Structure 1
Amino acid sequence: MKLQVAIDRVSLEDAIEMAHRLDGLVDVIELGTSIVKDYGLEALKKADFKLEKSQLLIDLKTIDEGEYEFNKGYETSADILTVMGASSLGTLHTTYEIAQKAEKNIFIDLMEIDDQKVNDMTNMSNAIFGLHHSKDATEAFDAVDTIQAFHDNHPEIKKIAVAGGVDLEQARKIARQGIADTVIVGSKIAGASDPISTAKKFMEAIQ
């Protein structure tokens, strides 16, 4: 199982510094949507920001203009870009094809998406499908149950990621479950007093 750490709501300089500190310690480092909206892709491109060992995900959350946004996104050092599952099938297929052509990865964010829409995406076999519990949601979220239900409904999907307030104990349970490919942790690592030590604990929990 992979650990993805999401960095959000900090300055670009602080985000890059933390990413370099986490490089090689975790599998995927995400520059969250707030970083993209605060600074833009041009700033990320000019920063010439590269990781040595970890993969870099830039959370574009593309929902339209897929060709333009993904082509611009891959001009940065991003290995993975995100598109919203709620976007049109045209946008989903376009961004998937661009990712394949660039030999990069695509993450489809399934926030608020029902099974019928997922059924229309299952031919995108190389995509990462992200089970994402909204930060603004008021209902409780059980990551393990959500993963199991998704897997039962879509056993053909192999690359599953999960995000939504995952703590150490939940990370252990997800790892023991053995279905999800990636667990995504945000502020519980990036916002910790010692992000490096905390990331190490999460890595130990999922291995």
Structure 2
Amino acid sequence: MAKLQVAIDLLSTEAALELAAKVAPYVDIIELGTPLIKQEGLKVVTAMKQAHPDKLVFADMKTADTGALEAEMAFKAGADLVTVMGTVDDATVKGAVEAAKKYGKQVVVDTIGVKDRVKRAREVTAFGVAFVELHAGLDEQALPGYSIQKLINEGKEAGVPFSIAGGVNADSIKAVLEAGAVVAVAGSAIYGASDPAKAAEALKAAFK
């Protein structure tokens, strides 16, 4: 069954824990955003896993080099999933996957900046990653004419396990799930809502 992932793009451990406490009943994966990890370090990963041991904790490392080393650092801190950038050398992805096998954890490849997301998704899936995140970053989403439908179409075409991140909200969640996404990643639709718990609950209802 598909999972709901909340992307926490806040900048303090305290704020992240506060938000996670509100939405935890409705999400399956708690993602700690790259800016948050850069600001707080991997201690935020440890704190989140200790607070929510029953949830998958996703460390959005966006690793670009030393795949095995950075993955191992995150896994030791308590992460269940880590990201490696799809634009990197194959060796970096493979190194992270080897570290994941060692710790019984998983790697996700993030496709920000990848020109041919469908082709790269197929390539890295063969290396043993858990799934590929078809991801339009905040900068891309701000461009004129951006539509999440492109990611949805790419997911259908790729034919591999994928998540979608980049505009998942109450209006798009149904299409994301119907496309076959194994994970739907909601960020501002949850943390930017006046009532994050209610927003997460509404999104989770679409999974049933």
Give the alignment's TM-score, normalised by structure 1. Answer: 0.88
Give distance in 2, aligned partners of 1:132 and 1:126: 16
Cα deviation digits, residues 88-134 of structure 1 (max 9, x gap): 11101000111122111111101121244444323134421000012
| Number of residue equivalences | 203
Gaps in structure 1 of 5+ consecutive residues: none
1:173 aligns with 2:175: yes
1:41-82 alpha-carbon deviations (Å, 9 max, x no partner) = 245447873413221111111111212211111111211111
Distance (Å, rounded) in 2 between the aligned partners of 1:48 and 1:201: 24
Q: What corresponds to 2:130 in structure 1?
A: 127
Contact residue 93 and residue 127 of structure 2 kept, 8 A: no
Partner residue, 2:200: 199
Q: Is the 8 A contact 2:155 2:162 kept in 1?
A: no
Quick check: 1:133–1:141 contact (8 Å CA) kept in 2? no
Q: 1:42–1:174: structure 2 CA closer, same or farther, 3 Å change rule?
A: closer
Query: Is this contact kept in 1: 2:155–2:181, CA < 8 A?
Result: no
Aligned mates of 2:188, 2:31 — CA distance in 1: 12
The offset of 1:139, in angstroms, is 4.5
Partner residue, 1:109: 110
User: CA-atom RMSD, angstroms?
Assistant: 2.0
Compare the two structures and name the one with the higher helix fraction: 2
Aligned to 2:151: 146
> Could you give the per-residue CA deviations for residues 181-204 of structure 1, whole angstroms, max 9, x where no partner exists?
111110110121211111001111
User: Does the CA contact (< 8 Å) of 1:57 and 1:79 recur in 2?
Assistant: yes
Question: Percent identity among equivalent residues?
Answer: 31
Partner of 2:42: helix, strand, or coil?
helix
For 2:38, the aligned partner's letter is K
> Cα distance 1:45–1:52, how it changes in 2: closer, same or farther (>3 A)?
closer
Q: Gapped runs of 5+ residues in structure 2? A: none
Please report how far the alpha carbon of residue 28 of structure 1 lies from its aligned counterpart in structure 2 after TM superposition. Answer: 0.6
Indicate the SS of the match to 2:125. coil
Which of 162, 165, 169 is 1:163 aligned to? Answer: 165
The letter of the residue matching 1:140 is G
